[in-house]
């Protein structure tokens, strides 16, 4: 197994995700905008769980909290749970077909949004559920190019 450096592509992808997240979109479209930081986190944890594990999920979660101006710890909790799910299943899913991975991301986005809705309802914040399926579909579409890029690093690493 070759040891290749992935720090630069990870940082570049995180920066790209932050910029994509900040691109202004109006009103209702904002709810359909994928969480690009979450997708980048899933991609690297899925393919490189030994390098980018729970600690990585926590760091990306803190970045998301600061970016979204949410309560500090809110995204840390959600990203940690999501990272843990990905780590548990990575041995199986890394060998699955792209289509299967897209379905997995679709389901993970739904889980994350339901977790968010649950936490929001605990804090008496209004909960919107209608957008979740659309958001999951859009996130899955964005996953395809992201998966291809990280998969290339994974194959070089192997």
Partner 1 sequence: MVRKAFFAVLLATLLITLDSYTPWFESFRGHLSKVTVPLQLISNFPSRIGAWVDLNTTSRTILEQKNASLEKERLILLGKLQRKAELAAENLRLRQLLNASELLMDSVLVTEVIGISPNPLNHRVTIDRGADDAVYVGQPVLDAEGLMGQITHVYKNYSQVLLITDLNHALPVQVLRNGLRSIVEGTSDYHEMSLRFVSPTVDIAEGDQLVSSGLGGRFPVGYPVGTVAEISQRPGEKFMDIKVIPLAKLDRSKHLLLVFRLQDGDQSKGGK
Tell me which of 55, 96, 98, 100 binds partner 1, using CB under 8 A: 55
Q: Is residue 98 within 8 Å of 147, Cβ to Cβ?
A: yes
Q: Is 11 an interacting residue with respect to partner 1 (CB under 8 A)?
A: no
Residue from 2, 97, 126, 158 that binds partner 1 (CB under 8 A)? 126
Please tell me the distance from the alpha carbon of residue 83 to that of residue 74, in angstroms, as a whole number: 14
Whole-Å CA distances, 140 to 15, 35, 53, 61, 110: 20, 11, 22, 20, 11
Q: Is 137 in the site for partner 1 (CB under 8 A)?
A: no
Which of residues 3, 43, 45, 54 is near partner 1 by CB under 8 A? 54
Using rule CB under 8 A, residue 121 touches partner 1: no
Helices within the chain (DSSP H only): 7-22, 29-32, 36-47, 54-68, 74-93, 98-122, 132-157
Give CA–CA dist 129/117, Å, rounded. Answer: 8
**Binding of partner 1 by 138 (CB under 8 A):** no
| 91 belongs to the binding site for partner 1 (CB under 8 A) | no
By CB under 8 A, name the binding residues for partner 1: 18-28, 30-31, 33, 53-55, 57-58, 61, 65-74, 76-77, 80-81, 83-84, 87, 120, 125-126, 128
């Amino acid at each position: 197994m070759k040891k290749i450096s992935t720090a630069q592509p990870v940082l570049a992808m995180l920066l790209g995700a932050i910029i994509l997240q900040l691109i202004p979109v109006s009103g209702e479209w904002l709810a359909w905008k994928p969480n690009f930081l979450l997708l980048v986190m899933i991609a690297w944890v899925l393919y490189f769980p030994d390098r980018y594990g729970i600690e990585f999920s926590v760091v990306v979660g803190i970045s998301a909290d600061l970016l979204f101006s949410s309560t500090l710890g809110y995204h840390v909790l959600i990203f940690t749970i999501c990272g843990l799910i990905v780590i548990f299943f990575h041995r199986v899913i890394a060998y699955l077909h792209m289509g299967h991975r897209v379905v997995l991301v679709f389901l993970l986005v739904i889980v994350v949004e339901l977790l968010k809705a649950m936490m929001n309802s605990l804090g008496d914040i209004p909960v919107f559920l209608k957008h979740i399926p659309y958001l999951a579909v859009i996130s899955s579409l964005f996953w395809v190019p992201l998966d291809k890029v990280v998969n290339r690093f994974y194959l070089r690493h192997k």
